[in-house]
A and B are shown apart, each in its own frame.
Chain A
Amino acid sequence: MHQIKTDNIWVQIGGELPALKDVSLFVRRDYCGAVNLFEGVTRNHDSGKQVTMLLYDSYDEMALHQCEKILDEAMQEFPAGAAAILHKTGRVPVGEVSMIVAVSTPHRKESTEAVLSIIKKIKKDVPIWKKEFFGGESEGAKWKGS
């Protein structure tokens, strides 16, 4: 597990995810009226196929660095009171959480925009990959996007 935890930024790649309430408490600030928590969850289908599990691979050290940069940008841009990205690696079965993104801002609109902005950047630049395992016989598994 790789982690950066400062007063207002928390990044974790790999390991078990913390409880959502602990992430919420981390980002909460007295001057922030909005705390926005996002959970990415493995769903049971994709492109018409049954999915049973996702397997995440990661370039841990770079992913940690990229997520830190994304959160630094969010802190400046919105601005956020505190922000966090926590991402599992390895196996994540259907119904389990693979990622948590959390942001606090003074007002609700910015908190939603900040979460969406962070997720968009994660999906573009953070070196983490998912492999989908399909439920049908002989359907096997495939790296997403490959």
Chain B
Amino acid sequence: MSSVTESRTEPRLITLELKWFSVLAEQRGTRKESFQIEPGVTCSELIDRLSADFLMLKQYRDYVRLAVNREYANPGLKLQDGDEVAFITPVSGG
């Protein structure tokens, strides 16, 4: 009798450092957190994913900008392992 060893490779996840500020930090209850997600996810997809269970972010869907590693990022930018991702609601400095 022969046996076949089934080999499954779990997709490797990437780890992001999420940063929250102002109204989003208050609602989230934290200013930073680690978040794992599959490779190839874009900024826009990350917002959609998190918005599913973070209603305040969903409210800001059309206004929030993402900064990746402290630079504003295009919605289509693919996120990389170790990226620092900040959610920038409309700013009001000055």
Contacts and interface: CB of A to CB of B under 8 A. Distances in A.
**What's the interface size class on B, roughly?**
10 to 19
A130 B92 contact: yes
B87 to A, nearest CB: 10
Interface in A104-131: 119, 122-131
Contacts, number: 71
Interface residues of A, number: 27
Interface stretch (A3-11, A26-34, A73-81, A138-146): A138-146
A62 B71 CA distance: 7
A146 to B, nearest CB: 4
A98, A119, A129 — which one has the most chain B CB atoms within 10 A of its CB? A129
Given A59-B88, A61-B70, A145-B89, A119 B94 contact: yes
Nearest to B93: A128
Contact of B23 (A61, A98, A143): A143
Nearest to A55: B22
Given A123-B92, A126-B93, A62 B86 contact: yes
